[in-house]
Amino acid sequence: MPQLLRLLLLIPAVLTSCQRTDLELGTIPGQPDIVLVTVDTLRADHLGCYGYFRDTSPVLDALSEESLLFERCISPMATTLPTHLSLFTGLWPHQHGYVANTGAVLTPFTPSEGRKPISIILKEAGYTTAAFVSGPTVSRPTGIHSGFDHFDEHDAKSARTFEDRSRPGDTTVVRAARWLKEEAPQDQPLFLWVHLWDPHEPNLPAPRHELFTADAGLDELLTERGVDIERLQALDTIQLRRLLDADFARREPLPSDSEKPVVTLESLRSLYDRYDADVRATDDAVGALITALKSTDRWESSVFCFTSDHGQSLGQHDWLEHGTITHENVHVPLLLRFPGDAVAQPQVINQTVSLIDVFPTLLARMELDSSASFYAQAAGLDVLADSFDRPFALSQRSVRPTRWGAELRFALSDDHWRWYHVPGGSEELYDLESDPGERSDLAALHPEVCDSFRSSLRLLLSDRPYFLPEGTADDASRLFLEQLEAFGYTGSK
């Protein structure tokens, strides 16, 4: 009974849930270490502390008992590089200019005034900055390494299979732990970013994490989510292979295009079992990182942030991977643990926030000279402040015409609704409270709600849009510019 179990699991959260004005806020003295964990492709609702019915996350569940847990954190895109850039700069994707992973192929991210990542802000404040990443879309060629003194990534130059293009989270954490023990300076504060890849396809968990097998709860969940085998069969061959064919990622050479996997109930059950095992692997890796921080006497005084760049469809809305902006793609976990008594913890925050708000919220609890320039550029806000007044979060779909068509699509989410808009085209409205699966479009019934969201989107998109330099922008960015202009917005507005 997944639904009943989820409700029971959420009871403690409901008891401690609060509005931000209930919080007693203080400032963390000195310069605390900041540890950021971003998990690629982790949807919030597959963690125990977010109500999942399987035991995927004992470490994170325990962490949530001493943290702020944000129930409604929304990612600005379900695409890895743009979302990480939004997290690091506090900017919406249209403000930092990267709206697809491919955008960095010809034009790697380069910091500039108004687009400084948190790594540079903290470095200017005297922090030692280090990153340990697991997957290719946040590797050095994208430019995301800017501002990091130490950048440790998976060497995929000789990769011959899909599996070889990334590395398991436990490998990444071992390297971070070794650095903490042997190289991290003891007399300087640290900003440590650890990026884990395990829930991202291909889902090939290690045997020790294969704890979940198809059960009645899973079948009920598939039904509840409206997963439709026939419609999934219409997806292109590469997506079916990446998600459903566990063998594909290890094959060399790659199979021919004519070998299209057949979608079955068994293959979907296997996908969920393997995905959940990879979530458990992530949980293990976070546990190992916390152990390493404790053994180097850094845990108690650290700010610890756990989040994800985006979710994963897993068959909902006739999609298996990510990139689209339905709820399962943009609802991400967010746990913030502050040292000392600067913030009363644990608490559940039930207002809608965005990943762009993470660092404005963290910096507001600290006293750093260099944070002023970050506040000046960031569209993100301190969500714990009484003055927090942005009631919605923006998401936009990747623009990647070669794979996903030329559709530009935005969504605004608030505590009640999600509204979708295609510039010059359709709009949809869903009641997330009564219809979390977004099946019943209510746009025609609530035109006044749509009008309000449309005005908000117009204001948001006209706020400091940034386009990659002329002549170097890739097709995806050029298309984004054209469609945005067709919607009535240019860089001068």
- Binding footprint of Zn ion on the chain (CB under 5 A): 40, 80, 309
Q: In the complex, what is the shortest distance from the CB of residue 250 to Zn ion, in angstroms, rounded to a whole number? A: 21
Output 273 or 309, the one with its CB closest to Zn ion: 309
How far, in Å, CA of 413 to CA of 452, rounded?
A: 12
Q: In the complex, what is the shortest distance from the CB of residue 286 to Zn ion, in angstroms, rounded to a whole number? A: 17
Residue 76's nearest CA partner among 316, 325, 313, 307 is: 325
Distance of alpha carbon 98 from the chain centroid: 15
Output 73 or 292, the one with its CB closest to Zn ion: 73
Output 309 or 328, the one with its CB closest to Zn ion: 309
Q: In the complex, what is the shortest distance from the CB of residue 169 to Zn ion, in angstroms, rounded to a whole number? A: 13
Q: What does the block give as tokens for 254?
A: 């790659």
Q: In the complex, what is the shortest distance from the CB of residue 310 to Zn ion, in angstroms, rounded to a whole number? A: 5
Output 134 or 146, the one with its CB closest to Zn ion: 134
Which whole-number Å values give the CA distances from 120 to 19, 81, 116, 126, 128, in the listed order?
A: 32, 17, 6, 10, 10
Q: Note whether 261 and 240 are within 8 A (CB).
A: yes
| Residue 406: Cβ within 10 Å count | 13
Q: In the complex, what is the shortest distance from the CB of residue 319 to Zn ion, in angstroms, rounded to a whole number? A: 15
Output 308 or 352, the one with its CB closest to Zn ion: 308
Output 91 or 263, the one with its CB closest to Zn ion: 91
Q: In the complex, what is the shortest distance from the CB of residue 309 to Zn ion, in angstroms, rounded to a whole number? A: 4
* Residue at token pair 């540890």: 35
Closest residue to Zn ion, based on beta-carbon distance:
80
3 state SS of 292: helix
- The residue type found at 493 is K
Helix H or strand E segment including 86: helix 80-89
Helix H or strand E segment including 371: helix 371-377
Bridge partners for 305 per DSSP: 36, 336
Residue 397's contacts (CB-CB under 8 Å, 6 or more residues apart) are: 77, 78, 323, 324, 325, 404, 407, 408, 409, 410
Output 136 or 360, the one with its CB closest to Zn ion: 136
